[in-house]
């Protein structure tokens, strides 16, 4: 869908309209600033990290003396220089490795020098002596009592009240869901399908690698510039970890060149701050190479899932039992919340009366597992959606029909005992089956190819602590253009555009008058918990709406007083205050700064209009640690469906995805075309994720930390058609009913593809990644 | 361990003549590396496997960038000619389309503006795209060293994975492709993890032409890439094809010979088992398609 | 390490620089000339975020040395509109990207624009297949490429009309 070019256009009531992105001209001219583009002057130093070559080892000795001798080197820092850990939900990660390293690539030291080249050379001269320890890579193995213990001090780590680590083991979180009685339900099932599903670690692969610049002033003020989804969360974690008062630590983030969750928490940024402390007064720049991005930032956790689901002869789901073992990597800070979220949503988008779920996060000697688009949902839907297809097959029901019958509906009591808020997943299923031509698949394009269709549905709730807040400030300029200040970040998903639309709509000004721009700066921007969880349209949107309404109220009150009219008879439309009774008009220009004069200029009223607003959900409750039951586990769910049409070349195993149809219940499409762009990008990301895997040798060393051997979807791999659609069942507390969708769009693509491959070949793949090789060898194995 | 940011320090020298190059190589020995497009060299330097102190740019030597097709129907391609230049050259497209096809299959358009045939051949990766076609086109590599110029059949040039017969003080200046037998048709098939743009997991080059001396009336040349330490011609397959009438039966037999000749390994890009199966697959497809061209269908 | 005095025309303007041997063209553009529109995504010639035109041909600037552009012309995203010579802020291709919402995070965008521009110069009426192939060396993680392909098609169609 094309949009008009931004310039002299004038769009009223923009919510619901596909207005042009607010940041698009900056980005097509190359003038949008990212962290590596920022200039810090001639006093800038550069840093490189020294990384562990072992997956698990004691650090016996570390000697930086040779590094320090290199001309141009200003400082070297090791784990011995600081005794600080960092974390959000579980404070388990040292900034530089202390007495041991726990994954290949873990930073053990950092070197600061006048150039990156010198820092790199000096880093090579840091001598580290290790004593290797037995390592463990499989999460199920690692959860066993006899596994090598990665965190003997687990019991001493600070942990959020809703996370339950098991000290003395590698289990950093165990979420339990108990509803009804699965044991007595199995006998009542006409069909039961059980399966083990394995997913490897994969990486976000943002096209912009991580980067950070930190400056520790002699005054004690600390500034961190970084590509960040969550400047305020990063400030909070780093402040706590290093003992810096929050007011003395400033985090500034320019545009983010792709986040996908990888830039949500703290990974390499705190290293930059610690290194800056060693060279006070000098900005220190630390940037990740692409190779470091793969294994030295964060990844999506691996998963081993044992899942068993049963239904009766009519196809009603009766029981589900599941165990999720997430391979959280060396440090499980975010991972524990992912395991928790997977636990309280473990059924997938289904109404199942009897559920036994155990979701574990387990330490493994691998790169750090953390938030990645979907936050546990893509991982668990991989198995769930394949089992659902198998159940449907066993009882002789169409897979789409099976899902229509069993999917969660408004008002259902879901697995945690919460009542399902209003959504319409059946409508989403209907839309995608219609769009893909469900049941009427086309002919294969050649005799050696097989055509297949597959469907998968999903749900996801924002996985957050119970009290994540958003706030916003609306400030006018003399010409009545206005700046909306938010702490939410533009990652490409369109957050700035949505903020502008919401502000314009709530105020009554044209969309084109609104300015929302980078950077987010904790010193000046109002607080935003994090730009994650697909929560921004909803939460930030509410805050911006409130701020705009606050400004609007101030404006109307002033003009009502000035006109001696009732404020209820006034409105703001197209940037003017109008009266429905007297039909007078008052333009906003100048008035929003200078106020209005009294009669005969006997004094003035008003002044600079500043609107403020905030939003924080108030209704999320605790969950019982033994059963996972509680009044309100999450704020809401977004649901959706995807159908895939593909072809498999049986001679090579290559898969060509011909079409993907997606539909999501977004509550209210604030910007329909932006939603389409998320759907398209998500479908391709989801498709790509089915074929991606980080590979390691038996010693835990990465085998493919580069774009040569970790391949992501290219322009040639994209399906001919991605058909996107949405349903609008309003979210009760969403701005105009809007709900987020940024992650949901890629959650179920991989199992939809697996289901389509099964339709084409009659072969199931329980383990990711898919590949032409795997498919071919499976075909050969079957025939051979 | 992980690749370093940027390139390590070195001195760049742009050579004026081939003798300059030889002198520099003699002077610096192991500390010097020749540079063409840099697409392999720079990656190697970031990975720490190449650590030259001196990088000698040989792209600008006389003739290195020329493509010459002469009256004797022979093609001389300068070693510094880029993949895009080869792929789009009218003489190459007209007379050696197999070479154009292989050059055009390398990576992306941007990389093909820099990657050169000389660099590709001298890097001698088992999955190099121009090697199988150069073998079946029976090209000769032209080398220049302290002893002057010498020419070597491509089949004798590749001695191991990443190893060639290029002397320590030599550079490659050109590749000479002889006139093709009349009526020749060819095909380069490459299987990657993605449809295009990837390295070859398996590659097959097939050239076929009428030959009334051969019992079958045709001769085929078949070369396999990525399935052995060195790209190889499969003479056993070629014999089968010379003996047996062209058709599915003969092609299947030839494909089995190709499978026999291949000795692939398991690596991060593919398993030996898959590669073996794909050798069979691509050989058959290649032969089928070349046969289709020969018959005019 | 040796340094070299070079003269290079960048976006129509002559630049006189002294560059070390091992400086890449990408580093030269970003660090010597502060033309930060061209991005560093991998330094391995894989992602295409660093794509620029050298004498009109797209190359990965991370895989080329600064010293090699002596006497040559380089165009970056900042100089794209200038190539059309009509004084407008945006080239037809950039306008098409805007209209089609072919931009999300924007990091791949400069490289995409350069590759797409070069395609339209050599093939003014490309098929969809040709567009896809021309862009295979430009990775995008956000958009799913469809809008980008459509924007190139729109720009091509407009060139036809002119």
- Phi then psi for residue A211, to 5 deg, are -160, 150
Q: Tell me: the pLDDT tens digits for A434-472?
A: 999 999 999 999 999 999 999 999 999 999 999 999 999
Q: What is the pLDDT of residue A461?
A: 98
Query: So what's the architecture of A302-464+622-783 in CATH?
Result: 2-Layer Sandwich (3.30)
Q: What is the CATH number of domain C85-161?
A: 1.10.150.120
Beta carbons within 10 angstroms of residue A113's beta carbon: 26
Q: Is residue B3 part of a domain?
A: no
A258 closest CB neighbour out of C44, C105, C133? C105
Residues paired with A450 in a beta bridge: A648
Judging contacts by C-beta atoms under 8 Å, the chain C residues touching residue B38 are 63-65
How far off is chain C from B193, nearest CA to CA, in Å? 13
In total, chain A counts a number of residues equal to 784
| C22 CB within 8 Å of a chain B CB | yes
Judging contacts by C-beta atoms under 8 Å, the chain A residues touching residue B4 are 120, 289
Judging contacts by C-beta atoms under 8 Å, the chain A residues touching residue B285 are 651
Separation CA C130–CA C122 (nearest Å): 11
Taking CB atoms and an 8 Å limit, are C106 and A36 in contact across chains?
Answer: no
Same domain, B106 and B37: no
Taking CB atoms and an 8 Å limit, are C103 and A27 in contact across chains?
Answer: yes
Separation CA B79–CA B75 (nearest Å): 12
Taking CB atoms and an 8 Å limit, are B195 and A717 in contact across chains?
Answer: yes
Q: Which residue of B has its CA nearest to A778?
A: B274
| C38 CB within 8 Å of a chain A CB | yes
**Chains meeting B at 3+ CB pairs closer than 8 A?**
A, C
Judging contacts by C-beta atoms under 8 Å, the chain C residues touching residue A207 are 39, 41, 47, 49, 105, 107-108, 139-142
Taking CB atoms and an 8 Å limit, are A717 and B271 in contact across chains?
Answer: no
Q: Tell me: the pLDDT tens digits for A681-716?
A: 999 999 999 999 999 999 999 999 999 999 999 999
C24 closest CB neighbour out of B6, B11, B108? B6
Q: Tell me: the pLDDT tens digits for C102-150?
A: 999 999 999 999 999 999 999 999 999 999 999 999 999 999 999 999 9
Q: Which residue of C has its CA nearest to B43?
A: C44
- Phi then psi for residue C29, to 5 deg, are -65, -45
User: Is the CB of residue B156 less than 8 Å from the CB of residue B165?
Assistant: yes
Q: Tell me: the pLDDT tens digits for A65-89?
A: 999 999 999 999 999 988 899 999 9
| C10 CB within 8 Å of a chain A CB | no
| A261 CB within 8 Å of a chain B CB | no
Tokens 């895009």 correspond to: B84
pLDDT surpasses 70 at A422: yes
pLDDT surpasses 50 at A1: no
Separation CA A120–CA A195 (nearest Å): 48
Q: What is the pLDDT of residue A74?
A: 98
Judging contacts by C-beta atoms under 8 Å, the chain B residues touching residue A53 are 1
| C54 CB within 8 Å of a chain A CB | no
**Diameter of chain B measured on Cα atoms:** 60
Q: Between A and B, how many CB-CB pairs are < 8 A?
A: 64
B207, HSE (Cβ side, Cα atoms, 13 Å)? 25
A141 is catalytic: no
How far off is chain C from B18, nearest CA to CA, in Å? 19
Q: What is the pLDDT of residue B297?
A: 66
pLDDT surpasses 70 at A4: no
Tokens matching residue C150? 């459509």
Task: Give chain A's mean pLDDT.
Answer: 97
How far off is chain C from A406, nearest CA to CA, in Å? 31
Domain of B213 in residue numbering reads as 186-295
Boundaries of every domain in chain A: 43-133+211-287, 302-464+622-783, 470-615
| C36 CB within 8 Å of a chain A CB | yes
> CATH number, domain at B29?
3.30.43.10
Taking CB atoms and an 8 Å limit, are A652 and B278 in contact across chains?
Answer: yes
User: Is the CB of residue A128 less than 8 Å from the CB of residue A50?
Assistant: yes
Taking CB atoms and an 8 Å limit, are C37 and A715 in contact across chains?
Answer: no
Segment A17-21 shows an average pLDDT of: 96
| C154 CB within 8 Å of a chain A CB | yes
Catalytic option among A743, A773, A780, A783: A743
Q: What Rg value do the Cα atoms of chain C yield, rounded?
A: 16
Q: Which residue of B has its CA nearest to C51?
A: B110
Taking CB atoms and an 8 Å limit, are B197 and C45 in contact across chains?
Answer: no
Contacts for C139 with CB less than 8 Å, ≥ 6 apart: A207, A707, A712, A714, C41, C46, C47, C48, C49, C108
Q: What is the pLDDT of residue A215?
A: 98
Contacts for A366 with CB less than 8 Å, ≥ 6 apart: A55, A103, A137, A201, A299, A302, A327, A329, A330, A696, A700
pLDDT surpasses 90 at A9: no
Domains held by chain B: number: 3
A171-179 and A354-363: which strand pairing?
antiparallel
Query: So what's the architecture of A470-615 in CATH?
Result: 2-Layer Sandwich (3.30)
Boundaries of every domain in chain C: 3-79, 85-161
pLDDT surpasses 80 at B73: no
CATH topology assigned to domain C3-79: Ubiquitin-like (UB roll) (3.10.20)
Same domain, B156 and B81: yes
Q: What is the pLDDT of residue A2?
A: 36
Taking CB atoms and an 8 Å limit, are B3 and A51 in contact across chains?
Answer: no
| A585 CB within 8 Å of a chain B CB | no
Judging contacts by C-beta atoms under 8 Å, the chain B residues touching residue A784 are none
Tokens matching residue B292? 């289709």
How far off is chain C from A193, nearest CA to CA, in Å? 35
pLDDT band at A8 (very low <50, low <70, confident <90, very high): low
Q: What is the CATH number of domain A43-133+211-287?
A: 3.90.1170.50
Report C:57-86 residues touching B (Cβ under 8 A).
Answer: 57-60, 62-65, 67-68
Separation CA A496–CA A510 (nearest Å): 15
Separation CA B231–CA B222 (nearest Å): 11
Taking CB atoms and an 8 Å limit, are C65 and B38 in contact across chains?
Answer: yes
> CATH number, domain at B232?
3.30.390.50
pLDDT surpasses 90 at A7: no
B198 closest CB neighbour out of A287, A691, A711? A711
Same domain, B213 and B287: yes
How far off is chain A from C18, nearest CA to CA, in Å? 17
Q: Which residue of B has its CA nearest to A776?
A: B274
Q: What is the pLDDT of residue B72?
A: 83
| C157 CB within 8 Å of a chain A CB | no
| C137 CB within 8 Å of a chain B CB | yes
Judging contacts by C-beta atoms under 8 Å, the chain C residues touching residue B110 are 45, 48, 51, 58-60, 115, 137
Q: What is the pLDDT of residue C159?
A: 81
Taking CB atoms and an 8 Å limit, are C48 and B46 in contact across chains?
Answer: no
Q: What is the pLDDT of residue C87?
A: 86
Judging contacts by C-beta atoms under 8 Å, the chain B residues touching residue C136 are 108-109, 196-197
Q: What Rg value do the Cα atoms of chain A yield, rounded?
A: 27
pLDDT surpasses 90 at A356: yes
A30 closest CB neighbour out of C78, C131, C141? C78
Segment B268-293 shows an average pLDDT of: 97
Taking CB atoms and an 8 Å limit, are C43 and B197 in contact across chains?
Answer: no
Task: Give chain B's mean pLDDT.
Answer: 96
Segment B10-30 shows an average pLDDT of: 96
Tokens 């253009």 correspond to: A481
DSSP-derived 3-state class of residue A517: coil
Judging contacts by C-beta atoms under 8 Å, the chain C residues touching residue B107 are 45, 137
Q: Which residue of C has its CA nearest to B194?
A: C136
Task: Select from B154, B177, B200 the last residue of a domain.
Answer: B177
C67 closest CB neighbour out of B6, B12, B113? B12
Tokens 């159908």 correspond to: A643
User: Is the CB of residue A369 less than 8 Å from the CB of residue A339?
Assistant: no
Same domain, B170 and B239: no
How far off is chain A from B2, nearest CA to CA, in Å? 6
Segment B20-40 shows an average pLDDT of: 96
Q: Quick check: do A302-464+622-783 and A470-615 share a fold?
A: yes
Tokens 């940011």 correspond to: B5
| B113 CB within 8 Å of a chain C CB | yes
C106 closest CB neighbour out of A3, A5, A27? A27
């Amino acid at each position: 869908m094309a949009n008009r070019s931004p310039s002299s256009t004038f769009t009223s009531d923009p919510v619901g309209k596909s207005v042009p992105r607010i940041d698009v001209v900056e980005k097509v001219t190359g003038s949008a600033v990212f962290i590596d583009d920022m200039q810090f002057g001639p006093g800038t130093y550069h840093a490189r990290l020294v990384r562990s070559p072992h997956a698990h080892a004691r650090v016996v000795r570390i000697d930086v003396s040779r590094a320090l001798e290199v001309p141009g080197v200003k400082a070297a820092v090791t784990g011995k220089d600081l005794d600080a850990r960092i974390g959000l939900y579980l404070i388990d990660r040292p900034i530089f490795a202390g007495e041991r390293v726990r994954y290949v690539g873990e930073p053990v030291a950092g070197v600061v020098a006048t150039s990156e080249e010198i820092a790199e050379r000096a880093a090579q001269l840091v001598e580290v002596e290790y004593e290797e320890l037995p390592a463990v890579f499989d999460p199920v193995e690692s959860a066993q009592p006899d596994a090598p213990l990665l965190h003997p001090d687990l019991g001493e780590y600070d942990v959020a009240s809703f996370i339950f680590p098991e000290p003395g083991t590698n289990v950093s979180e165990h979420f339990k869901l108990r509803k009804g009685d699965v044991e007595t339900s199995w006998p009542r099932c006409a069909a039961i399908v059980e399966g083990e599903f394995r997913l490897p670690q994969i990486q976000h692969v943002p096209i912009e690698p991580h980067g950070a610049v930190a400056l520790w002033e002699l005054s004690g003020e600390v500034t961190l510039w970084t590509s960040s989804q969550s400047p305020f969360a990063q400030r909070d974690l780093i402040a706590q970890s290093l003992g810096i008062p929050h007011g003395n630590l400033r985090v500034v983030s320019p545009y983010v060149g792709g986040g996908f969750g990888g830039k949500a928490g703290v990974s390499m940024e705190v290293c930059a701050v610690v290194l800056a402390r060693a060279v006070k007064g000098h900005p220190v720049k630390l940037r990740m190479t692409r190779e470091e991005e793969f294994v030295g930032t964060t990844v999506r956790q691996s998963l081993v899932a044992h899942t068993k689901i049963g239904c009766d002869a009519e196809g009603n789901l009766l029981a589900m039992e599941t165990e999720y073992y997430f391979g959280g990597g060396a440090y499980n800070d975010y991972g524990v919340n992912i395991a928790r979220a997977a636990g309280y949503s473990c059924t997938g988008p289904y109404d199942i009366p009897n559920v036994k779920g155990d979701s574990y996060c387990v330490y493994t000697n691998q790169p750090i597992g953390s938030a990645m688009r979907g936050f546990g949902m893509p991982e668990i839907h991989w198995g769930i959606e394949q089992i659902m297809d198998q159940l449907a097959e066993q009882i002789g029901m169409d897979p789409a029909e099976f899902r229509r019958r069993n999917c969660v509906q408004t008002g259902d009591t879901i697995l945690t005992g919460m009542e399902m808020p209003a959504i319409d997943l059946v409508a989403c299923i209907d839309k995608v089956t219609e769009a893909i031509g469900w049941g009427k698949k086309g002919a294969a394009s050649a005799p050696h190819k097989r055509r297949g269709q597959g469907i998968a549905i999903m749900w996801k709730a924002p996985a957050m602590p119970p009290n994540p807040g958003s706030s916003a400030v609306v400030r006018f300029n003399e010409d009545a253009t206005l700046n909306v200040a938010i702490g939410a970040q533009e990652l490409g998903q369109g957050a700035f555009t949505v903020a502008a639309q919401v502000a314009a709509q709530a105020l009554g000004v044209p969309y084109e008058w609104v300015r929302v721009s980078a950077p987010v700066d904790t010193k000046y921007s109002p607080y935003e918990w994090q730009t994650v969880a697909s929560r921004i349209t909803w939460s930030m949107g509410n805050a911006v709406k409130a701020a705009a309404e606050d400004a609007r109220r101030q404006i109307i009150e002033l003009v009502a007083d000035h006109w001696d009219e009732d404020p209820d008879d006034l409105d703001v439309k197209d940037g003017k205050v109008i009266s429905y009774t007297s039909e007078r008009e008052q333009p906003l220009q100048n008035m929003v700064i200078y106020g209005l004069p009294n009669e005969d200029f006997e004094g003035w009223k008003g002044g600079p209009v500043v609107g403020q607003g905030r939003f924080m959900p108030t209704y999320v409750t605790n969950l019982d640690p033994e059963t996972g039951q509680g009044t309100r586990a999450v704020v809401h769910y977004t649901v959706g469906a995807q159908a895939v049409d593909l072809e498999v070349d049986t001679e090579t195993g290559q898969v060509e995805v011909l079409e993907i149809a997606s539909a999501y219940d977004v509550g209210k499409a604030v910007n329909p075309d932006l939603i389409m762009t998320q759907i398209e990008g998500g479908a391709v990301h989801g498709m790509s994720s089915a074929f991606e895997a980080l590979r390691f040798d038996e010693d835990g060393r990465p085998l493919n930390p580069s774009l040569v051997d970790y391949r992501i979807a290219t322009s040639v791999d994209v399906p001919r058609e991605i058909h996107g659609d949405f349903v609008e069942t309003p979210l009760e507390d969403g701005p105009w009913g809007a709900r987020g969708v940024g992650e949901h769009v890629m959650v179920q693509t991989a199992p939809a593809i697996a289901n389509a491959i099964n339709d084409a070949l009659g072969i199931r793949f329980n383990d990711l990644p898919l590949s032409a090789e795997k498919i071919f060898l499976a075909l050969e194995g079957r025939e051979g | 361990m992980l690749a370093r940011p940027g390139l390590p320090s070195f001195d760049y020298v742009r050579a004026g003549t081939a003798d300059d190059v030889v002198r520099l190589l003699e002077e610096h020995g192991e500390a010097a590396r020749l540079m063409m497009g840099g697409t392999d060299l720079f990656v190697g330097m970031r990975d720490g496997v190449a650590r030259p102190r001196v990088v000698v740019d040989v792209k600008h030597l006389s003739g290195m960038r020329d493509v010459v097709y002469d009256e004797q129907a022979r093609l001389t391609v300068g070693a510094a000619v880029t993949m895009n230049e080869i792929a789009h050259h009218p003489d190459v497209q007209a007379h050696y389309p197999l070479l154009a096809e292989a050059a055009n299959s390398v990576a992306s358009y941007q990389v093909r503006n820099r990657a050169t045939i000389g660099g590709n051949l001298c890097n001698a990766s088992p999955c190099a795209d121009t090697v199988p076609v150069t073998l079946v086109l029976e090209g000769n590599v032209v080398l220049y060293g302290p002893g002057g110029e010498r020419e070597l059949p491509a089949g004798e040039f590749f001695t191991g994975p990443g190893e060639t017969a290029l002397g320590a003080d030599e550079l490659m200046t050109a590749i000479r492709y002889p006139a093709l037998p009349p009526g020749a048709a060819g095909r380069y098939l490459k299987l990657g993890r993605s449809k295009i743009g990837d390295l070859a997991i398996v590659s097959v080059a097939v050239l076929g032409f009428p030959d009334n001396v051969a019992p079958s009336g045709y001769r085929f040349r078949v070369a396999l890439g990525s399935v052995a330490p060195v790209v190889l011609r499969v003479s056993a397959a070629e014999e089968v094809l010379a003996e047996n009438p062209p058709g599915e039966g003969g092609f299947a037999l030839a494909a089995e010979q190709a499978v026999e000749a291949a000795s692939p390994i398991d690596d991060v890009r593919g398993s030996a088992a898959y590669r073996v199966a794909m050798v069979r697959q691509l050989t058959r497809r290649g032969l089928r398609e070349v046969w289709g061209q020969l018959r005019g269908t | 390490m040796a340094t070299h005095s070079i003269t290079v025309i960048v976006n129509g303007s002559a630049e006189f620089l002294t560059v070390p041997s091992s400086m890449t063209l990408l580093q030269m553009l970003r660090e010597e000339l502060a033309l930060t529109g061209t991005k560093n995504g991998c330094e391995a010639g894989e992602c295409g975020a660093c794509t620029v035109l050298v004498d009109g041909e797209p190359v990965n600037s991370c895989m080329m040395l600064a010293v090699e552009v002596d006497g040559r012309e380089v165009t970056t995203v900042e100089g794209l509109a200038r190539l059309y010579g009509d004084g407008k802020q945006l080239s037809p291709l950039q306008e098409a990207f805007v209209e089609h919402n072919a931009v999300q995070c924007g990091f791949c965008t400069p490289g995409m624009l350069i590759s797409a521009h070069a395609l339209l110069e050599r093939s003014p009426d490309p098929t969809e297949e040709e567009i896809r192939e021309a862009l295979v060396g430009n990775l995008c993680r956000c958009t799913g490429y469809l809008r980008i392909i459509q924007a190139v098609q729109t720009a091509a169609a407009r060139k036809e009309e002119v």
